[in-house]
Amino acid sequence: MNFIFRILSFTLTIFFIVHPLAPQQEMNKQPFIYKIIISDAITPASMEKLNKAIQKANQDNANALLIQLDTPGGLMSSMDEMVKSIMNSRVPIITYVAPPGATCGSAGVFILLSSHVAAMAPATNIGSATPITMGGTTGNNQDPKNQEALREKIMNHSIAKIKAIAEYYGRNSQFAIKTITDAANIPSTEAYKIQLIDAIAITEQELLNQINGKTVKTVDGEKVLQTKDINIIELKDDLRNKIQSIIANPNIAYLLIMIGITGIMIEIQYPGLIFPGVIGAISLVLGLYGLQTLPVNYAGFLLIFLGILFLILELKIVSYGLLSIAGIISIILGIIWIAESMKEVEETSIIFLFTTTFVIIGLFLFILRKVIKATKNKVVSGDQILFEDIGEAITEINQEKGKIFIHGEIWNAISKEIIPKGSRVQPYERIGMTLKVKKVDENN
Q: How far apart are CA 437 and CA 397, in angstroms?
A: 9
Q: How far apart are CA 107 and CA 42, in angstroms?
A: 7
Of residues 84, 153, 236, 421, which has the active-site annotation?
153
* Whether 153 is catalytic: yes
For residues 380 and 362, the answer to whether their CB atoms sit within 8 Å is no
Residue 116's Cβ-count burial label (10 Å; 0-12, 13-18, 19+) is buried
Of residues 106, 173, 188, 324, which has the active-site annotation?
106
Q: How far apart are CA 48 and CA 290, in angstroms?
A: 12
For residues 341 and 317, the answer to whether their CB atoms sit within 8 Å is no
Chain centroid to CA 371: 34
**In which order are the strands placed within the sheet that holds 103-105?**
103-105, 125-127, 185-187
For residues 152 and 162, the answer to whether their CB atoms sit within 8 Å is no
Say if strands 391-393 and 424-431 run parallel, antiparallel, or are unpaired: antiparallel
Phi, psi of 72 (to 5 degrees): -85, -10
In 98-147, DSSP assigns E strands to 103-105, 117-120, 125-127
Measure the CA angle with vertex 203, ends 199 and 204; round to 5°. Answer: 75
For residues 28 and 231, the answer to whether their CB atoms sit within 8 Å is yes
- 338-341's contacts with Cβ under 8 Å and 24+ in sequence apart are 338/296, 338/297, 338/300, 338/301, 338/304, 339/240, 339/300, 340/52, 341/52, 341/238, 341/240
Phi, psi of 409 (to 5 degrees): -135, 160
**In which order are the strands placed within the sheet that holds 199-200?**
199-200, 117-120, 93-97, 65-69, 32-38, 231-234
For residues 235 and 36, the answer to whether their CB atoms sit within 8 Å is yes
For residues 394 and 403, the answer to whether their CB atoms sit within 8 Å is yes
For residues 63 and 95, the answer to whether their CB atoms sit within 8 Å is no
For residues 69 and 103, the answer to whether their CB atoms sit within 8 Å is no
For residues 431 and 420, the answer to whether their CB atoms sit within 8 Å is no
* Whether 283 is catalytic: no
List residues with catalytic annotation: 106, 153
